[in-house]
Amino acid sequence: MIEFLQQLINGISLGAIYALIALGYTMVYGVLRFINFAHSDVFMLGAFVGYYAVKKLGVPVGGLAGGLLVLCLAMSICAIVGILIERLAYRPLRSRPTLSVLITAIGVSLLLQNLGQSVFGANPKAFPRLFPETNLHLGQLSITSNQLLVIAVSLVLLAGLHFIVHRTKTGTAMRALSFNATASSLVGINNDRIISFTFGLGSALAGAGGILYAMNYPSIDPLMGTMPGLKAFVAAVLGGVGSLPGAALGGLLIGLIETFVAGTGWSTYRDAVAFAILILILLLRPAGLLGKSRSDKV
Amino acid sequence: MLPRSQIVLLISLITAGIISASSSRIDDYILDVILGIGINIILAVSLNLINGFTGQFSLGHAGFMAVGAYAAGTLTTGPGKVWFDASGASPALLFPFVLFAGGLTAAVVGLAVGAPSLRLKGDYLAIVTLGFGEIIKVILQNIEWLGGSRGMVGIPSYTSFFWCFGAAAVTIYAAWALVNSTLGRGFLAVADDEIAAEAMGLNTTRYKIIAFVTGAFFAGIAGGLYAHLKGYISPAGFDFNKSIEIVVMVILGGMGRHVGVVIAVVLLTVLSEKLRDFGDKRMIVYSALLILLMLTRPQGLFTWKPARKAITG
Amino acid sequence: MVEIRNLTVAYGAVTALHKISLTVNAGEIVTLIGGNGAGKSTTLRAISGLIRPRSGKIMYQGTDVTGVPAHELVARGLSHCPEGRLVFANLTVDENLRLGAYLQRDRKRIAEELDFVLTLFPRLSERTTQLAGTLSGGEQQMLAIARALMSQPRCLLLDEPSLGIAPLLVKSIFDQIVALNRTRGLTILLVEQNANLALEISHRGYVLETGRIILSDHAAALRSNPDVQEAYLGA
């Protein structure tokens, strides 16, 4: 039972990170209908912004304020990078077939990874301690403060996202655009601006995810985004691509399933599990758990 | 009298045989690069076939290559070696059957992967094949009798010029024949408009699956050739980057154009040999090239006909 | 208010409009009539900036607006209520209406306009918290018009407001259109299958056939034109 609770907490904190990344995939899919492969590398970039903020800029960490400052810095820089990627690589292809955009996104992803290897170096780096760390003991249950922090920060960010999407004008415009781009431009929405905003928002969440991930898996490298990115993508499909609550739920489920599989004798297959789920969900319920099936336009 | 395309195939095979007979005179390194080109041609043309019929890319083509490589390697090096030796036939005679077995295994796996995802509309094939490529890697890493993550070593080098380019010629022929079959042509004519295709009574899914399985089959053949060329295979050698490399070749050559793709393969294989010393800079050039190409010449480098404009309503 | 000169629009290789010219004066209701595929909706889409014409000029309030994107034209007082209604099915009625006033920053004016359109279409006021996708076809049409009005346009492009709607409702929608024209001086360019009804409320009309304007006249004259009667008025 203790074992189970322990895994549950581990799974939730991993799932929270997947959820943050998955939201970016799903939001971009909502407004542009394509898979932004470079998203996982923006996540990687978030971790490296954190690393350099501490190592090179000397942001004082170890207290709550310094850690939060690093988090905000990573989110802002990732947002800017996300907006630039869309602007330079995706926007010129707006009227082209999805396949072209998809391939470009793969190109951007590879470019970021390889630039990362050449600029940051290919060797894994130890991620600095951002927040004070303690272990909380509840009976035999052991929770690290980082795990709690991951869950708390994710919850705050999810609440913030919910507020933006449902209570602000720009958020309403995002939902309008994801329903129909023609209709949204006819009410005076500048679709390009909303798409930029969406990329910024999604990339900021990915940046936060990168920091939180690095805090719990304390070594980072330029290829670190690939696996969590793919799993977060599966999470987005599991929840129903385009659905924000779906992405959050999917992330949580993938995190939990992966943690429980890792805890059994099948631990070497933990990376394959997410893809097995992907194929199952596509077979059984392609619209995802919370997604609505969308009929193709004639 | 054979049809012209089959004559071309026959001539190609004979030429490959003649060159193969004198291949001992070619410098080892250069021969290695040339055989690499042959294998890449098989991979790129088979992927191009999938792209042509489904309008999507398999992002796990290296996965099918891995299946073929391991299946073939198992027969000549792994547990299957027992039968291989027991048959008493000469390896050169058995090799085509080994390759065929590798291709067949890849085709069966291709059917299992393709059938569910090709029924769905949208980008699902790309996603599922991407996931499949990763799963294959993990599974291979966990099978001890295949060498696990250390890989399979000591594979005999049976891959000759003849088998390599013979297989390449057959791949091109098969891709050509499938596209030019009466039904294939009908399919492609209406493939842009699936609703129209279905209205005409074409089972679009069946066609996509046939193309996909054929593509997987030839990727498996390429894998077998690769294993018996390098003498060593490991799961990490068939990763996402390898799949992307094949995708880049197809895009550079122009989707749906086999001649362009062959030129692109030659160019890229030679280029990447030249850039080998630059290490990670090579991949930076590669990815930047891919982006620039999509932004400026999405129809490919070697295609001069303008890409068909999409009709937007 | 709107003037089109020699407008040609093509979708790929298919030419949808061949050098058409038309004028809509301030305060007028002008109707485009024509069969299916004649190019009526395409004309509206070109004016509102949804598609780029191949050649020709579109003038709005005396300035050339050819190639100006749709969202900028909304800011200049041109509102297009598209065919097939295109309400945001995933948003509530209230959110749909407020999006109509997306460019309006003055909260007070948004509130006033909201009151105005809800008195125009009282049915909607009972449904403000409902998702637009759950409304009936007629209600969605009202919502689409109401949303188009929320931007306080000077010129409204209205595409097939009667499509798929019960006749009784059509009558009430058309009454409101006339009222808007009379009380607010709203200029309206109307596309309508039901040519009879449209010409009844219009000042002038144009007849489109396979991408060309073949006839233009005062509404009354068009209604009494035997060719028009035979082809479009079901006489």
For chain A, the domain total comes to 1
More confident residue, B184 or C11: C11
CA within 13 Å, CB half, A280:
10
pLDDT of B64-114, one tens digit each? 999 999 999 998 887 777 777 777 777 777 899 999 999 999 999 999 888
Across the A:B interface, residue pairs with CB atoms under 8 Å apart total 113
Crossing angle for the helix pair C137-149 and C167-184, to the nearest 10 degrees = 10
pLDDT surpassing 80 at residue C130: yes
As given in the structure block, the two tokens for residue C60 are 């709005």
pLDDT of residue B198: 63
Residue B127 is predicted with a pLDDT of 77
Contact status of B127 with chain A (Cβ, < 8 Å): yes
C65 φ/ψ sector (left φ>0, alpha ψ -120 to 50, else beta)? alpha
Measured between alpha carbons, how far is B18 from B27 in angstroms, rounded to an integer? 17
Does B276 contact chain A (CB < 8 Å)? Answer: no
Cross-chain Cβ contact B120/A114 below 8 Å: no
Residue A29 lies in a domain: yes
Please check whether residue A185 lies inside any domain of the structure.
Answer: yes
pTM of the model: 0.86
A184 found inside a domain = yes
Which residues make beta-bridge pairs with C20? Answer: C7
pLDDT of B142 > 60? The answer is yes
The answer on pLDDT for A70 being more than 90 is yes
pLDDT in tens, A75-104: 999 999 999 999 999 999 988 877 788 889
Kindly report which listed range (B59-68, B291-300, C131-140, C180-189) carries the lowest average pLDDT score: B291-300
Q: Can you tell me the mean pLDDT for C132-159?
A: 93
CATH at C41: 3.40.50.300
Is pLDDT above 60 for A122? yes
The confidence band for C191, taking pLDDT boundaries of 50, 70 and 90, is very high
Q: Chain B contacts of A90, Cβ < 8 Å?
A: none
Gap between the Cα atoms of B119 and B132, Å rounded: 16
Tell me whether residues B117 and A282 touch, CB distance under 8 A. yes
Burial of A261 (0-12, 13-18, 19+ CB in 10 A): buried
Rounded to the nearest integer, the mean pLDDT of chain A is: 89
List residues bridging with A219 in a β-sheet.
A126
List subunits contacting chain B, requiring 3 or more Cβ pairs under 8 Å: A, C
Domain that holds residue C70: 2-86+153-232
Q: What is the pLDDT at residue B40?
A: 94
- Answer whether A271 touches B (CB < 8 Å): yes
Inform me whether the pLDDT recorded for B196 exceeds 70.
no
Distance CA A105, CA C44 (A): 35
Residue A276 lies inside a defined structural domain of this protein: no
User: In this predicted model, what pLDDT tens digit does every residue of B248-260 receive, in sequence order?
Assistant: 888 888 777 778 8
Q: What is the mean pLDDT of residues C123-147?
A: 92
What pLDDT is recorded for position B307? 42
Mean pLDDT check: name the lowest of A47-51, B276-280, C23-27.
B276-280
Top-confidence residue, A149 or B123: A149
Mean pLDDT to the nearest integer, A204-209: 97
Is residue B5 pLDDT above 90, yes or no? no
Residue A298 banded pLDDT, cuts 50, 70, 90: very low
In a domain, residue B227? The reply is yes
pLDDT score, position B148: 85
Between CA B171 and CA B181, with CA B175 as vertex, the angle to 5 degrees is: 140
Tokens found for residue C15: 């030419």
| Assigned domain for B270 exists | no
The mean pLDDT value for A192-213 works out to 96
Quick one: pLDDT band at residue B10, thresholds 50, 70, 90? confident
Write the pLDDT tens digit of every residue in A110-119: 899 999 999 9
Is the ipTM of this structure higher than 0.85?
Answer: yes
Q: How many folded domains does chain B comprise?
A: 1
Residue C126 resides in a domain: no
**Rounded to whole angstroms, how far apart are CA atoms B289 and B284?**
8
Write out the residue range of the structural domain in which residue A208 sits: 14-120+140-225
> CA nearest A91: which of A105, A78, A77?
A105
Is residue C30 within 8 A of residue C189, CB to CB? The reply is yes
A186 in contact with C at a CB cutoff of 8 Å?
A: yes
Instruction: Give the residue numbers spanning the domain of B154.
Output: 4-238
Statement: residue B280 has pLDDT above 80:
no
pLDDT value of residue B192 = 59
pLDDT, position B271: 83
Kindly report, residue by residue over C57-80, the tens digit of the pLDDT: 999 999 999 999 999 999 999 999
pLDDT at residue number B194: 60
What was the pLDDT predicted at B101? 94
> Taking residues C181-194, what's their average pLDDT?
92
The pLDDT of residue B100 is 95
Token code pair at residue C171: 């009558």
A and C: number of Cβ contacts within 8 A: 66
Cβ of A106 within 8 Å of Cβ of B195? The answer is: no
Residue C15 lies in a domain: yes
Give CA angle at B147 (B141, B153), nearest 5°. Answer: 125
Given a contact cutoff of 8 angstroms between Cβ atoms, the answer to whether C87 and C132 are in contact is: yes
* Strands C14-24 and C2-11, bridge-based pairing: antiparallel
Task: Decide if B258 is inside a domain.
Answer: no
**pLDDT above 90: residue B156:** no
- Which candidate from A104, A115, A278 shows the least CB-CB separation from B291? A104
pLDDT in tens, C25-43: 999 999 999 888 889 999 9
Contact A188 C91 (CB under 8 A): no
Rounded distance between C-alpha atoms, residue A201 and residue A205, angstroms: 6
Residue C99 lies in a domain: no
Alpha carbon of B40 to those of B37, B164, B167, B233: distances in Å?
5, 10, 11, 16
pLDDT at B308: 42
- Number of separate domains in chain C: 1
Within-domain flag for B274:
no
Q: Note whether residue B54 is domain-resident.
A: yes
- CB spacing of A186 vs C80 below 8 angstroms: yes
- Name which residue leads in pLDDT, C171 or A186: A186
Tell me, what's the pLDDT at B1? 54
